[in-house]
Structure 1
Amino acid sequence: MYNGENAQIFDHAKRTADMLVKMFGSRCEVAVHDFKNLKKSLVYIAGNVTGRKIGSPITDLVLTELRKDPTEIEDIPNYKTQAKNGTVMKSSTVFLRDSNGKVMGALCMNYDISQMLLFEADMKEFLSFDSNHHRSENFYSTVQDVIQDMVDQVLSGFKKAPTQLTLEEKIEAVRLLEEKGAFLIKGSTEYLASVLGVSKFTIYNYLNKIRTQNEYHLEDSV
């Protein structure tokens, strides 16, 4: 048994183990190892993922790390492991040191991800998108927002103030908005007219011209 500082270190590690398992649930296991006796280094365990019990030996991974110079021993975060029962886990190991920097034990966390891996393929399929049908879609709270955003999208492409557009550019703007279906919304004609600095009747004239041209091209292609 340890006294003083070392006892506090292991007490803190054990309380941390309990807290982690309470936080992450039954798929989480946290083991505390004391390196005084590597044959029976497991002195505390919270949760049960690997099936080990107190008195179990240290792992081969930790043994490999302990062969290094103490100054080169580093914590090992977020690595993949597998228990004898086939359970696949995400694991992390934090080495416990005293005030002199001596490595005296480790806190090892294992999280069972086996069930998650079973759903991985299904999730990838569900979260995939059809690259041949990419669409951009905005969601609005009011009809006015819809009209304003569609008009802004089109007019921003001209790189100039809306009232400074030439006749041809204004007609082109109307054509683009017609293709987007903007004029299916009541009030869009009046709004566009106010932005362009023309009357709504002018917008109607542009629309009639565009629709007539479209009908002509349609009949011509039949």
Structure 2
Amino acid sequence: MEKGNNVQVFDLAKRTADMLVKMFGQRCEVVVHDFKDLKKSLIYIAGNVTNRKIGSPITDLVLTELRKDPAEIEDIPNYKTQARNGTLLKSATVFLRDAQKRVIGALCINYDISQMMINVGELEEFLSFNVADDKSENFHSTVQDVIHDMVHQVLTNFKKAHTQLTLEEKIECVRLLEEKGAFLIKGSTEYLASVLGVSKFTIYNYLNKIRTQNEYHLEEETNE
């Protein structure tokens, strides 16, 4: 009876191997091992990734597991292996047991991920950005949206309501927008004035002060 149960176990393992390969395609290989003879334990192969044949021996990883007490032997999911030809594999091993819970074999899944690793490398290269450049770009339909967004980005730096900004903070706000080129757009001065609760002439005064300081620093650097 025990022998018959073992036949059923291996039959189910073989059918599972076929189903997995049909599901995951040509990069998948599933093999079944019978531990009656470890020197030629491989009794079934579905797919072909490792180029082994029926009668191939057990692997070193499985041998290490078999040295353990049977009760301590556990399935091994999701580990990295490499075929003799250098193919990188994602593998898993499920141990097969008889009616008395004795380990009698294994179903081993090997999936070739070499091409995936190449694709991942290409994707990472394509999706990478120049870390040194802290740049952002927004796409708007109207020039008003451009102005509004630039002003909003600057105001969020102050972590307070724009009506509570001090004189120095308002000047700093104008300076940041000047650096961003916001005042190259007609209407930005008026909009910022309305947001900060000052007149557009006050914004002009801030701008003149900032530009004068910038020119002074530029002259100093040139003289040096």
**Shorter chain as normaliser: what TM range?**
0.7 to 0.9
CA contact (8 A) 1:6 1:98 kept: no
Alignment correspondent of 1:27:
27
Distance across 2 between alignment mates of 1:120 and 1:72: 36
Number of equivalences = 220
SS in 2 for 1:160: coil
Alignment correspondent of 1:38:
38
SS in 1 for 2:150: helix
Distance across 1 between alignment mates of 2:3 and 2:186: 81
TM-score of the two chains, using structure 2 as the length reference: 0.76
2:136 pairs with 1:137: yes
Distance across 1 between alignment mates of 2:141 and 2:14: 56
Structure 1 stretch displaced more, 141-150 or 112-121: 112-121
Give CA deviations for 1:166-218 in whole Å, capped at 9, x if unaligned: 23321221011111222234443333223212233432332233224433443
Report 1:1-222 matches (<5 A): 3=4, 7=8, 9-98=9-98, 100-114=100-114, 130-131=130-131, 133-143=132-142, 144-219=144-219, 221-222=221-222
CA contact (8 A) 1:42 1:57 kept: yes
- Flag structure 2 segments of 5+ consecutive residues without an equivalent: none
Name the aligned partner's letter for residue 177 of structure 2: L
TM-score of the two chains, using structure 1 as the length reference: 0.76
Relative to structure 1, the CA distance from residue 109 to residue 207 in structure 2 (aligned partners, 3 Å threshold; closer, same or farther) is: same
Name the aligned partner's letter for residue 136 of structure 1: K
CA contact (8 A) 2:182 2:188 kept: yes
Name the aligned partner's letter for residue 111 of structure 1: Y
- Flag structure 1 segments of 5+ consecutive residues without an equivalent: none
Structure 1 stretch displaced more, 148-157 or 116-125: 116-125
Relative to structure 1, the CA distance from residue 156 to residue 82 in structure 2 (aligned partners, 3 Å threshold; closer, same or farther) is: closer
Relative to structure 1, the CA distance from residue 141 to residue 34 in structure 2 (aligned partners, 3 Å threshold; closer, same or farther) is: farther
Deviation at 1:109, TM superposition (A): 1.4
Identity between Structure 1 and Structure 2 (%): 75
Relative to structure 1, the CA distance from residue 57 to residue 179 in structure 2 (aligned partners, 3 Å threshold; closer, same or farther) is: same
Distance across 2 between alignment mates of 1:27 and 1:40: 24
